[in-house]
Amino acid sequence: MTTKQPNNLPTWLEQPNQLTSQPQRHNFLAHNQQHLQHLLARLSQPLPAVQSKRWQLSPSISLLRLGILILLIALTNNTGWLWVLGLLLAGHLLQLSPSQLRRFSRSWLLSTLIALLVVLPSYWLVGPATVLLFGFKTGLILASTQYYRLTTTFQELLSGLKTLHCPNIFIMTLAIAITYLRMLGHYLLQTMMALDMRMVAPAKHPYRLIGTLFGNLFLKSHAYALELYAAMEARGFNGHYVNQPATTNRWHDMLTLTPYLVLVAVFIFGRTYGIN
């Protein structure tokens, strides 16, 4: 094998670079890379964070349960009621593993704190009772959604929505969106890294760069859309996701839902007797 005559390099390529460095106030690329990495870590989790073997709920029921719980919390102004609902929730939380529970508490406390900060100034407007009630209710709602998120996978969410007769076009869009979020997120992350490698000076027009980044992402995703969809079709996809048949027990489902149904009944009829 003969190598050809080495081609001559232009002079600028033969001399080493003069290193320059200009101050930069903040690095939005690095910041966003971190965000994306968190998102991807969360998305790549194939199993739900918590999976109880004995007590597996069908996805539609857990979605329903979440809805009922939030609605009840939002509707009532009775602290006693909230107390009961809180106990119910705490019971669920007991099923979490210690590490999960710590994770749960951290994000829950943070989000509740933020919600409280927003309402706090109203203390001077309407007094402490409102702030307390609001804080209590918001905390409970955030806890129940957080619990749902910890125990549910995307696939379960999809099949849950499907069982609840959500229009197919929504489900499809949701399914593709979740799939793509991972792919596009990964792509965006890699592109940002590549960009980072060539950001040898502070960006003069950061916005132009971002426009390029997302314009490029759109076009690429357009092309990906066609290819991936074709690849999915090529593998038998016809607009319906076939899911792994879930092994759930109807009795368990009903049993788990019962306390909630009782609560709803008490809530509705209790009104006439002044319970709440």
Partner 1 sequence: MALIKLTNISYDYPNTCGLDHLNLEINTGDFICLMGPNGSGKSTLLRILSGLETASQGDYQFDDQAITAAYLADPQDRQRLHQQIGLVFQNTDVQLFNTSVADEVAFGPRQLGLPEAEIAQRVTDCLELTHSSELRDRVPYQLSGGEKKRVALASVLALNPTVLLLDEPLNGLTIAAQQQMLTLLQTLQAAGKTIIMASHNFKQVQAVEPRFVIFNADHQIQADLTAAELATQPEQQAELLTL
Partner 2 sequence: MHIPDNYLSPATCGTLVLAVAPVWTVAVIKVKAQIKEKRETLPMLGIAASLAFLIMMFNLPIPGGTTAHAVGGTLLAVLIGPWAAVLALTVTVLLQALLFGDGGILAFGANAFNMAVIMPMVGYACYRVGVKFKHPKVGLFIGAYLGINVAALVAGIELGLQPLLAHTASGAPLYCPYGLNVTVPAMLAAHLLVAGWVEAIFTVLVYQFVHKVAPTNLYQVTPQRSRRPWAYLLGGLVVLSPLGLLASNTAWGEWSPAELKQRLAEQHISQQAPQGMVQGLHFKALFQDYTIGNLPISVGYILSAITAVLIFLLLMRGLQHDNQTTK
Q: Which of residues 201-230 bind partner 2 (CB under 8 A)?
A: 206-208, 210-212, 214-219, 221-222, 224-226, 228-229
Which CB, 14 or 53, lies closer to partner 1? 14
Which CB, 138 or 159, lies closer to partner 1? 159
Spatial distance between the Cα atoms of 263 and 144, rounded to a whole number of angstroms: 16
Burial class (CB in 10 A: 0-12, 13-18, 19+), 53: exposed
Which CB, 168 or 258, lies closer to partner 1? 168
Spatial distance between the Cα atoms of 229 and 101, rounded to a whole number of angstroms: 39
Which CB, 177 or 265, lies closer to partner 1? 177
Segment interacting with partner 2, rule: CB under 8 A, options 11-19, 89-97, 176-184, 256-264: 176-184
Question: Interface with partner 1 includes 99 (CB under 8 A)?
Answer: no
Segment interacting with partner 1, rule: CB under 8 A, options 8-16, 86-94, 120-128, 254-262: 8-16
Question: Interface with partner 2 includes 116 (CB under 8 A)?
Answer: no
- Determine the residue type at 38: H
Going by C-alpha positions, the residue among 42, 155, 147 that lies closest to residue 96 is 147
Binding marks (x or -) toward partner 1, 200..219, rule CB under 8 A?
A: xxxxx-------xx--x--x
Least separation, in Å, of the C-beta of 97 and partner 2? 20
Segment interacting with partner 2, rule: CB under 8 A, options 44-52, 175-183, 249-257, 264-272: 175-183
What is the signed CA dihedral for 56, 175, 191, 37, rounded to 10 degrees? Answer: -20
CB atoms within 10 A of CB 8: 8
Spatial distance between the Cα atoms of 273 and 276, rounded to a whole number of angstroms: 8
# chain residues binding partner 2, by CB under 8 A: 75
Which CB, 39 or 195, lies closer to partner 2? 39
Question: Interface with partner 1 includes 250 (CB under 8 A)?
Answer: no
Spatial distance between the Cα atoms of 151 and 57, rounded to a whole number of angstroms: 10
CB atoms within 10 A of CB 14: 8
Which of positions 160-189 make contact with partner 1 (CB under 8 A)?
Answer: 179-180, 182-183, 186-187
Which CB, 212 or 258, lies closer to partner 2? 212
CB atoms within 10 A of CB 214: 12
Distance of CA 265 to the CA centre of its chain: 32
**59-94 in b/e burial notation, b at 16+ Cβ within 10 A?**
bbbbbbbbebbbebbeebeeeebbebbbebbeebbe
Segment interacting with partner 1, rule: CB under 8 A, options 56-64, 79-87, 99-107, 225-233: 225-233
# chain residues binding partner 1, by CB under 8 A: 72
Helices (H), the chain: 11-14, 28-43, 59-75, 79-93, 98-119, 123-126, 128-151, 154-163, 168-198, 206-234, 250-273
Which CB, 151 or 253, lies closer to partner 2? 151
Question: Interface with partner 2 includes 243 (CB under 8 A)?
Answer: no
Partner from partner 2, partner 1, none binding residue 132, C-beta < 5-8 Å depending on class: none
Binding-site member from 44, 52, 55, 74 for partner 2 (CB under 8 A): 74
